[in-house]
C-alpha cells in the first residue's frame, strides 16, 4: 500500500486517489469519445469554452498547451453570458460535468440565440437535453467521477473543439504520448507529492505559475480548496511581481509554490528565482517545482497530476474526505430555490 493510500484509508469515500491515478486512462478514453462524436471541422473566428469550476479549467489548460500553435483565440468563459463581442462566426463549447450548472446553461442559450456553432461536453442533465433538442453534438462523459476529477476529459475536449473550429492543430498524438508519459511518471509523482505536502502542511499555499504553468497553478489552488477543504491562493508571474510581492512583507503561515517550465520566457524564469528568494524571508515554506515531460501537453498535465496528488495528501494530513463539497452543494441548493 502506498503512503497516499495509507493516509487516505477510511477517508477517500469517492475514490479520488483512483481517479487521479486514472488520468492517463481518462485521456485515452476522452480521445475515443471525441472520435465517436465525429465532429465536423470548420473555420471559426475563435473558440469559447464556457463552464465553471472543474468544467472550465480544461479550456485554460488547452489554451496553455496549444500556446503559439493557436492561430485564433481560444478563450474560457466563466459566467452567465458569452461576451458581447462574440459573433455567429465563433464556435462555443459548453462544458458541464453534471449538465445542470446554471451559468453554463445560460451560455448555451446565449450561443444558440447568437447562431454560433455549439458543441457540448457533459454526462447528461438539462444541458444534454437542450443540446439534443437543438441538434447540437454532445461529447458524452462517464458519469462516475467528481466534476474536478474529469479534468483530463475537459482538457481533451477543449483541445478538440479548438481543432474542430480550425483555431489550432489537432494534437491527438501528443495527448496519447502524454498519457503514456504520465503513466510512467505516476509513482514518482506520488512520492514527490508526499514531500511537497509535508512542507506545505499547516501553511496556506500560494501557488505561482507563469506561461504554460499559469493554469496549473490555479488548478493546484482549486484542488487544495476542494479536496483538502483548505484556503489556498494562486497568482501569475510576472504580474504578481508588480503588486502581490509587497504583501509578502507580512505573510504569517503562507507557503509559496513556484511552478517552473523549460519553455517559460528566460526573464520569467529569472523572476521565479528572484521572487522565491524574496518571499523566502517571510514564507513558512518555499517549494520549487520544474515540470517534466517531452511536450507542452505532457508537462502541463504532469503539473496538474502532481497538484491533484498534493491536494489529496493534504486532505489526508487534515483527516478529511476529499470527495464531498458540502459548501458548494449548499450554495447550489439555495440558488436552486430562487
Can you give the binding site for ligand PA5, defined by CB under 6 A? 52-55, 96-98, 101, 104, 146-148, 226, 325, 328
For ligand PA5, which is the closer residue by CB, 97 or 155?
Answer: 97
Of the candidates 89, 109, 172, 332, the residue annotated as catalytic is: 332
Contact call for residues 110 and 130 (beta carbons, < 8 A): no
* Residue at shortest CB range from ligand PA5: 53
CB of residue 312 vs ligand PA5: minimum separation in angstroms? 14
332 is an active site residue:
yes
Q: What is d(CA 279, CA 255) in angstroms, rounded to the nearest whole number? A: 9
Taking CA 61 as the corner, what is the angle to CA 56 and CA 66, rounded to the nearest 5 degrees?
A: 135
DSSP 138-197: EEE--TTS-GGGGHHHHHHHHHHHHHHTTSS---HHHHHHHHHHHHHHHHHHHHHHHHHH
The minimum distance between CB 269 and ligand PA5, in angstroms, equals 31
244 neighbors 278 (Cβ within 8 angstroms): no
Other residues' Cβ atoms within 10 Å of the Cβ of residue 31: 20
Q: Which is nearer to ligand PA5, 46 or 54 (CB)?
A: 54
- Min dist. Cβ of residue 279 to ligand PA5 (A): 28
Find residue 234's DSSP bridge partners. 207
> How many whole angstroms separate alpha carbon 199 and alpha carbon 305?
18
Q: Is 221 a catalytic residue?
A: no
Q: Annotated catalytic residue: which of 226, 229, 268, 298?
A: 226
Task: Give the residue with the Cβ less far from ligand PA5, 33 or 269.
Answer: 33
Q: How far is the CB of 155 from ligand PA5 (least distance, A)?
A: 14
Q: Is 109 a catalytic residue?
A: no
236: Cβ–Cβ under 8 A, 6 or more apart, which residues? Answer: 208, 209, 210, 214, 217
Q: How far is CA 332 from CA 100, 103, 107, 124, 244, in A?
A: 10, 11, 18, 18, 32
Do β-strands 91-96 and 117-122 pair in parallel, antiparallel, or remain unpaired?
Answer: parallel
Question: What gap in Å lies between CA 163 and CA 43, rounded to an integer?
Answer: 9
Q: Residue 99: left (phi > 0), alpha (psi -120 to 50), or beta?
A: left
Distance in Å, CB of 53 to ligand PA5, minimum: 2
CB-CB neighbours of 235 under 10 Å: 22
Taking the complex as a whole, the smallest distance from the CB of residue 14 to ligand PA5 amounts, in Å, to: 11
Nearer to ligand PA5, 196 or 325 (CB): 325
Q: Which CB sits closer to ligand PA5, 17 or 237?
A: 17
Measured from the CB atom, is 140 or 166 closer to ligand PA5? Answer: 140
Residues identified as active-site: 226, 242, 332
Amino acid at each position: 500500500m502506498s503512503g497516499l493510500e495509507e493516509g487516505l484509508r477510511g477517508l477517500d469515500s469517492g475514490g479520488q486517489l483512483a481517479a487521479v491515478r486514472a488520468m492517463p486512462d481518462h485521456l485515452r478514453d476522452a480521445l475515443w469519445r471525441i472520435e465517436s462524436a465525429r465532429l465536423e471541422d470548420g473555420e471559426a473566428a475563435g473558440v469559447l469554452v464556457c463552464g465553471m469550476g472543474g468544467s472550465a479549467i480544461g479550456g485554460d489548460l488547452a489554451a496553455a498547451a496549444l500556446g503559439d500553435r493557436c492561430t485564433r483565440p481560444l478563450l474560457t468563459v466563466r459566467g452567465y453570458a458569452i461576451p458581447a463581442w462574440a459573433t455567429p462566426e465563433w464556435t462555443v463549447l459548453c462544458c458541464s460535468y453534471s449538465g445542470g450548472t446554471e451559468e453554463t446553461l445560460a451560455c448555451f442559450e446565449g450561443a444558440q440565440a447568437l447562431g454560433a456553432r455549439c458543441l457540448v461536453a457533459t454526462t447528461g442533465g438539462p444541458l444534454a437535453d437542450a443540446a439534443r433538442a437543438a441538434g447540437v453534438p454532445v461529447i458524452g462523459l462517464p458519469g462516475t467521477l467528481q466534476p474536478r476529477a474529469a479534468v483530463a476529459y475537459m482538457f481533451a475536449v477543449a483541445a478538440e473543439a479548438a481543432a474542430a473550429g480550425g483555431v489550432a492543430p489537432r494534437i491527438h498524438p501528443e495527448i496519447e504520448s502524454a498519457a503514456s508519459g504520465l503513466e510512467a511518471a505516476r509513482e514518482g509523482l506520488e512520492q514527490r507529492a508526499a514531500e511537497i505536502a509535508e512542507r506545505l502542511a499547516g501553511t496556506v499555499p500560494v501557488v505561482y505559475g507563469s506561461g504554460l504553468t499559469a493554469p496549473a497553478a490555479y488548478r493546484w489552488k482549486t484542488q487544495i480548496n476542494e479536496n483538502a477543504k483548505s484556503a489556498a491562493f494562486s497568482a501569475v508571474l510576472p504580474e504578481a511581481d508588480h503588486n502581490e510581492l509587497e504583501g509578502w512583507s507580512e505573510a504569517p503561515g503562507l507557503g509559496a509554490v513556484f511552478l517552473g517550465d523549460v519553455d517559460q520566457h528566460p526573464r520569467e524564469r529569472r523572476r521565479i528565482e528572484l521572487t522565491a528568494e524574496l518571499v523566502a524571508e517571510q514564507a513558512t515554506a518555499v517549494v520549487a517545482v520544474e515540470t517534466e515531460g517531452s511536450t507542452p501537453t505532457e508537462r502541463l498535465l504532469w503539473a496538474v497530476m502532481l497538484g491533484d496528488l498534493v491536494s489529496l495528501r493534504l486532505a489526508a494530513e487534515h483527516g478529511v474526505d476529499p470527495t464531498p463539497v458540502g459548501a458548494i452543494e449548499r450554495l447550489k441548493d439555495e440558488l436552486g430555490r430562487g
